[in-house]
Structure 1
Amino acid sequence: MTQDPRNAEDAPEAQDGPVYFWRETHPLTGYLSQWYACPFRDPGEPSKTYKTAEHYMMHQKALLFDDPATGLEILRAEHPRQAKSLGRRVRAFDQRRWDAERLRVVARGNYLKFAHPAVPGGVESLRLGTGWGPGGASSEAAGSPLVGAGGLRARLLATGGRELVEASPFDRVWGIGYREEHAEGVGREDWGENLLGRALMEVREIFRKEDEEERAGAEGEKQMQKKQKKKA
């Protein structure tokens, strides 16, 4: 039986079916979309703000092919659809080179999206499952639960070890080429590459390791303090 991705937050570790996502407007899985409105920055380039992960992807694509003018247009684009369209116009584009770099670029963009939101004080003003909109909120999201600081990162981690699958019927590279309701009816050998899902799972694993290291460091500090108290 196919697991319902809308229940992913209930008991993610207890469920082993895939978490399917696609539209940024989905009330509970939209945050996984490249088009989800969540402005973020790269600490290495704090002057730039990326409205969505799609903006980051297309901007980096432009820079990869030494087209800063198009890159600037992408940053200024109001909607991720515009950013995508501009990305298709990057000069001196080489498909083979892009194929070699694209997964790294998208994984990095999503890491930044979840780890470095640009909204002051975190992502308190963003709402789960919003459609695209300035500042990450839209009228469509009225009544949606608010995401606290670090909330998107926590939600990604809450998917546990479940497979993340972009169920786009129109994309066999970043998605699987099938809607969720059709995905289980075909063999996995017929699925597309699901590169976005793979990138998100890579980011999730990085966050998991970061948290493990932080816990280990905190425990080490606690043990050190105990030893110092005993010596005193």
Structure 2
Amino acid sequence: MRKRDAHDIGLNSTQSLSTAEEASGPIFFWREYEQPYGFLCQWYPSPFLAPQVHPTHVFGCAEQYMMYRKALILATPSEPDETDSANTPSVKTQPKGGHRDSGKPNAEKYERENLPNRILSESKPGKQKSLARSVKFSHAQFKEWERIKFDVVLEGSFLKFSQNQELKAKLLATGVRELVEASPTDRTWGIGFAAEFTESCREAWGSNLLGRALMSVRESLKAEAEAEVDTG
């Protein structure tokens, strides 16, 4: 997914859009360092607390929150997959003395159990992502992650923007415009296309889950702001 210069995305702050596009067209973002919409990226520095998940840790960005939640699932003991069970030696095939070499399983167990702490200790979002990918899901763990992953990103995004007032103001300033992660390599969280190719192939866009989560958070923050005005 990495790396491309900021000017390649088509969103450089020196570029100008037509008045109509600027007012109502989609907002494309991808890399955290790209202006003016890099702040929408999961990797953008945005410290926040999530006491319901960890009592004291300050998450450095939304990506760390996402990868930590993923790691909690990976660290949870899971029943062996059927395919794994089929390849596990029975008692009859154990070496003499009844002891099987448990070095590798023990190392894997330690790696899984320690994964959440390793992600909390890592400050770079790219490394956080790599760490989470270094441990494989069991079938049951994968199903659980698929079930909750959108809600996890939704929660992380809300915490990010609700606890950082400058970022909150920037998000609200996007109005009702569509927010689109223009990642050419990610069709789940993004659309699978770079920004310069988006309009010509809109019918082939991916799911844009991150963009959808951000738009949902934006609506929640708007509703909160309106409620404060009404009760103020």
**Map of 1:1-232 to 2, 5 A cutoff?**
6=13, 15-44=23-52, 45-65=54-74, 66=76, 68-90=113-135, 92-93=137-138, 94-117=141-164, 150-186=165-201, 188-218=202-232
Contact 1:21–1:32 (8 Å) recurs in 2: yes
Q: Which has the higher helix share?
A: 2
What percent identity do the matched residue pairs reach?
A: 44
Contact 1:12–1:158 (8 Å) recurs in 2: no
Unaligned runs of 5+ in 1: 118-149, 219-232
Give the 3-state SS of the residue equivalent to 2:57 in structure 1: strand
What do residues 56-87 of structure 1 show as CA deviations (whole Å, max 9, x unaligned)? 00001111342552111001112101000111
Task: Go from structure 1 to structure 2 and tell me whether the alpha carbon gap of 1:23 and 1:72 turns closer, same or farther (over 3 Å shift).
Answer: same
What do residues 88-122 of structure 1 show as CA deviations (whole Å, max 9, x unaligned)? 134644322211111100010011111124xxxxx
Task: Go from structure 1 to structure 2 and tell me whether the alpha carbon gap of 1:114 and 1:101 turns closer, same or farther (over 3 Å shift).
Answer: same
Unaligned runs of 5+ in 2: 1-9, 77-111
Quote the offset at 1:30 in angstroms. 0.6
Give the 3-state SS of the residue equivalent to 2:200 in structure 1: coil
Contact 1:5–1:20 (8 Å) recurs in 2: no
Contact 2:42–2:63 (8 Å) recurs in 1: yes
Task: Go from structure 1 to structure 2 and tell me whether the alpha carbon gap of 1:79 and 1:12 turns closer, same or farther (over 3 Å shift).
Answer: farther
Aligned-pair Cα RMSD in Å: 2.4
Taking structure 2 as the reference length, what is the TM-score of the superposition?
0.71
What do residues 1-29 of structure 1 show as CA deviations (whole Å, max 9, x unaligned)? xx968589xx8997111000001011210
Give the 3-state SS of the residue equivalent to 2:123 in structure 1: coil
Give the 3-state SS of the residue equivalent to 1:34 in structure 2: coil
Task: Go from structure 1 to structure 2 and tell me whether the alpha carbon gap of 1:112 and 1:173 turns closer, same or farther (over 3 Å shift).
Answer: same
